[in-house]
């Protein structure tokens, strides 16, 4: 497969996953704000900018984190390369450049989503509430993934889509747990904190699964265990690193117990940690340090994938 095509497919999946993740945290946080209006603005909105990894850029454009400024920045601002509108636009542009290598249904679905999203503005979303807009993104990305699975050959190109989606979701989950655990674990679990941990689980579509899995009140340690180390939920870091490993091995043809390149080596090493560590091990070493290292590793894996499959030296 040409490196340009693999690169485009990888980033289509990353951009779509990034848009969905941002829509989820915006929607959940907005509803939490309505139910817990006594919480200070900083606690409610500032963490979302940190999760997006755009804290410095945000405060170069706005004076403070409010519902309007955060929705504008994360939803619509063109100066933010990770805003929802920008991510959908970038995914569409990548798809446009390889239209002959994706299915017609994929292109029509993504192009239609782009035009639907383009009709919204921050003033309208603030006036009516973000739920409809966020649902458009969430279910639009789900539909796109379903169309892709149903209409695109499950060859190397499809594997690059899976790799991009898994790597992006693992990184997003790590940032959500890191930021919210730091903000909320300051003492005994109070009722407002319990409500906010519900929001953390809902922001990754894991609240109902948590209730079925643990059948207990929400505890920060169990939330961290589920989102980091659980092997079955599709938003857990372990699940996504395993999916990433499977996709990379499918591309290279590498069997179990070995690796063909640095991306596979790093991924396998990280997966071993997630499989064999217990949450007590992670917490004893420090959750923030663990997640910081994990995010750094995910970034390195992304660079390794690019060097292995997307970049080729130009002959002099």
- Give the number of other CB atoms < 10 A from CB of residue 63: 7
Q: Give mean pLDDT, residues 187-203.
A: 70
Q: Which tens digit of pLDDT belongs to each residue from 221-275?
A: 999 999 999 999 999 999 999 999 999 999 999 988 899 999 999 999 999 999 9
Which pLDDT score, from 0 to 100, does residue 200 have? 87
Closest alpha carbon to 224 in 168, 178, 293, 183: 178
Query: Do 143 and 116 form a contact (C-beta atoms < 8 A)?
Result: no
Q: Which tens digit of pLDDT belongs to each residue from 12-66?
A: 999 999 999 999 999 988 887 766 655 544 446 888 898 888 889 999 999 988 8
Q: How far apart are CA 5 and CA 130, in angstroms?
A: 34
Q: Which residue has the tokens 């704000």?
A: 33
Which pLDDT score, from 0 to 100, does residue 46 have? 83
Q: What is the DSSP letter of 101?
A: G
When mean pLDDT is compared across 6-10, 42-46, 196-200, the lowest value belongs to 42-46
Handedness of CA 180, 187, 237, 230 (dihedral sign): negative
Q: Which tens digit of pLDDT belongs to each residue from 110-155?
A: 999 999 999 999 999 999 889 999 999 999 999 999 999 999 999 9
Which pLDDT score, from 0 to 100, does residue 248 have? 98
Closest alpha carbon to 110 in 146, 75, 82, 83: 146
């Amino acid at each position: 497969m040409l490196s340009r095509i693999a690169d485009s497919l990888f980033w289509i999946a990353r951009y779509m996953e990034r848009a969905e993740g941002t829509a989820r945290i915006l929607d959940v946080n907005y509803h939490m704000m309505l139910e817990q209006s006594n919480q200070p603005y900083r606690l409610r909105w500032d963490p979302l900018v940190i999760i997006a990894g755009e804290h410095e850029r945000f405060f170069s454009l706005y004076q403070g984190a409010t519902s309007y400024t955060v929705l504008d920045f994360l939803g619509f601002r063109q100066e933010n390369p990770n805003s929802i509108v920008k991510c959908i636009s970038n995914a569409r542009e990548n798809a446009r450049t390889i239209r002959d290598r994706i299915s017609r249904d994929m292109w029509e679905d993504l192009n239609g989503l782009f035009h639907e999203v383009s009709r919204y503005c921050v003033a309208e979303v603030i006036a009516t509430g973000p739920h409809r807009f966020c649902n458009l993104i969430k279910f639009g990305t789900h539909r796109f993934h379903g169309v892709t699975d149903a209409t695109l050959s499950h060859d190397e190109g499809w594997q690059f889509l899976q790799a991009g989606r898994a790597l992006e979701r693992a990184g997003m989950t790590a940032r959500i747990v890191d930021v919210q655990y730091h903000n909320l674990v300051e003492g005994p679990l109070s009722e407002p904190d319990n409500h906010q941990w519900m929001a953390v689980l809902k922001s990754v579509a894991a609240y109902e699964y948590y209730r079925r899995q643990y059948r207990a009140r929400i505890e920060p340690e169990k939330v961290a265990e589920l989102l980091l180390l659980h092997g079955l939920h599709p938003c857990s870091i372990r699940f996504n690193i395993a999916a990433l490993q499977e996709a990379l091995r499918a591309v290279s043809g590498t069997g179990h117990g070995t690796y063909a390149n640095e991306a596979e080596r790093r991924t396998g090493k990280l997966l071993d940690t997630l499989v064999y560590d217990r949450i007590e091990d992670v917490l004893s070493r420090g959750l923030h340090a663990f997640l910081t290292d994990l995010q750094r590793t995910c970034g390195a894996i992304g660079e390794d994938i690019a060097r292995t499959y997307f970049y080729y030296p130009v002959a002099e």
